[in-house]
Amino acid sequence: MNQIERFKAMVEMRFFDEACLEGVPTMEIHGELHTGIGQEAISAGLLGHLKNSDALVSTHRNHYHALIKGVNPYRLMSEIFEKKTGICQGFGGHMHPFSLKQNFSATGIVGQSLPVALGYAYAFKMRKEDSLAIGVIGDGAANHGTFHETLNIAGAWKLPLLVLVENNGYGISVPISKVLATETIAERAKSYSAWGKCVNGDDPDIVSEAVEEAVSHIRSNQGPAILEAVCNRFRGHYEGDTDHYRSKTEKQNMLKGDPITTYSKKLLSLKVLTENEIQNIFQTSKQKMFGLLKRVRGEKMPLPETALNYIFCEKTDG
């Protein structure tokens, strides 16, 4: 996958989430919304390393992972906007998208992505398939018991599992440094006979290189890997979070390091892209995502009389 693809992916993801933001004040998205804005480089770094059969289990902050895994953006946005055309027909919503076709799913409960990813990894190994499972978590989730339990099992049985930690420095308001016993999360790897690395998650090239290493470790049957990518959460934890626990200067400094701007400058100086081409990518992506938004807004919500439809898959009369 080349740098231009990575850049395009980052810009598209950003505009995808910016389009979603439009649905908050209008109450089209009437519950919580967590965006990935600021964290695009990590998902872009996954580009080209995953097969369709690989599984990815994500979190409450899952839009970018879904997109990178190949979930149809129109159907994903429809789900986020509570529409019948959503990948879960509006039943799941933004925290709970499921797409078996891409082996993609997510959970709104912190720490619970890992055991599910482990289940995929077990199944792959049992069936001697050459696929791997990625469990995405935030830094905060790394302190959940599931982290230890999952990696212990994966390490003991050399299961094909990549734990991808998006370390944006905070679990809501709590700085990870206040609640972590070690300097990094990745250094826990040796306790689980796992591969581990902590990298700058603002540069998709760096992430991509690390993913490549981790994935080849896993695919060569050597057991699990922990890849920690350090990044920033540009917005409040969710839309509506006043974010009063971070100082103005902290936030200003963070925004100066926008990974998209930084990467565009990098590609410019490497002469991979011209200023014009960069602007074109911005324009096309914006048009694409806001075009989606327009279409999604025209869609219908699920019919009220279907509300009890999917409690069970089998008939339960009597």
Binding site for ligand TPP (CB under 6 A): 60-61, 108-111, 137-141, 168, 170-172, 233, 237
Q: Is 48 left (phi over 0), alpha (psi -120 to 50) or beta?
A: left
d(CA 274, CA 206): 22
**Chain length of the chain:** 318
Question: Measured between alpha carbons, how far is 80 from 78 in angstroms, rounded to an integer?
Answer: 5
**Residue 88 within binding range of other proteins, rule CB under 8 A:** yes
Give the one entry of ligand TPP, other proteins, none that residue 95 binds, where binding means its C-beta sits below a cut-off of 5 to 8 angstroms depending on kind: other proteins
Which three-class secondary structure string do you get for 173-191?
Answer: CEEHHHCCCCCCCHHHHHH
Q: Which stretch binds other proteins (CB under 8 A): 49-57, 69-77, 84-92, 196-204?
A: 84-92
Q: For 241-270, give one letter per residue: b (16+ CB within 10 A) or e.
A: eebeeeeeeeeeebeeebbbeebbebbeee
- Minimum CB separation of residue 49 from ligand TPP in Å reads 21
Residue position matching structure tokens 């992430």: 207
Q: Cβ 34 to ligand TPP, closest distance in Å?
A: 6
CB of 275 to ligand TPP, least distance (A): 33
User: Given the complex with other proteins, which of 36 and 160 has the nearer CB atom?
Assistant: 36
User: Across-strand partners of 115?
Assistant: none
Nearer to ligand TPP, 112 or 264 (CB): 112
User: What is d(CA 116, CA 105) in angstroms, rounded to the nearest whole number?
Assistant: 9
Of other proteins, ligand TPP, none, which one sits near residue 94, judging by CB under 5 to 8 A according to partner kind?
other proteins
Least Å from the CB of residue 163 to ligand TPP: 12
Binding site for other proteins (CB under 8 A): 30-32, 79, 82-84, 88, 90-96, 107-112, 140-141, 143-145, 171-174, 178-180, 244-245, 301-308, 311
